[in-house]
Amino acid sequence: MKFEWNIEKYVPTFSYGIFMVSLFTLSFLGFWGALLPLPAVLMTKLAQWLWGLALLGSTWAALTTGALGLELPSPCREVLWPLPAYLLVSAGCYALGTVGYRVATFHDCEDAARELQSQIQEARADLARRGMRF
């Protein structure tokens, strides 16, 4: 049974269009220009990240759906289509590893701890002298 999604016809053309526009801005304005098509005042960091994601996403979509008509070798296509999932998993692993590393290398400051304890004792004695009850 063949089920046809009509919108599928337009996805390659749409991503192809975005890819060409981004290529154009990249070549004329440089890398940061592609991330900042508007003056810096108008484009927030969120907008920059979303724009960057849109560029990369459309490039990936254009390449995986073959909209550019490039005949990529089979292993390259095999690597390309799971790429977003791969990048997400790698980012997650990096985050987990960084957290673990920071937990492992967190130093106890024994001198500072002792100093703090003695200061607490001082403060309690001082306040008790002035009549405060604990």
**41 or 104: whose CB is closer to other proteins?**
104
Q: Should residue 89 be labelled a site residue for other proteins when binding is judged by CB under 8 A?
A: yes
Q: What is the C-alpha to C-alpha distance for residues 25 and 58, in angstroms, rounded to an integer? A: 14
105 binds other proteins, rule: CB under 8 A:
yes
Number of residues in contact with other proteins, rule: CB under 8 A? 24
DSSP structure string for 28-55: HHHHHHHH-SS-TTT--HHHHHHHHHHH
Nearer to other proteins, 30 or 82 (CB): 82
Q: Please report how the helices 45-64 and 83-104 are oriented relative to each other, as an axis angle in degrees rounded to 10.
A: 130
The reply to whether 112 sits near other proteins by the rule CB under 8 A is no
- Please spell the DSSP secondary structure of 56-72, one letter per residue: HHHHHHHHHTTTT----
Among 1, 7, 41, 104, binds other proteins (CB under 8 A): 104
Task: List residues near other proteins by CB under 8 A.
Answer: 74-76, 78-79, 82-83, 85-86, 88-90, 93-94, 96-97, 99-106
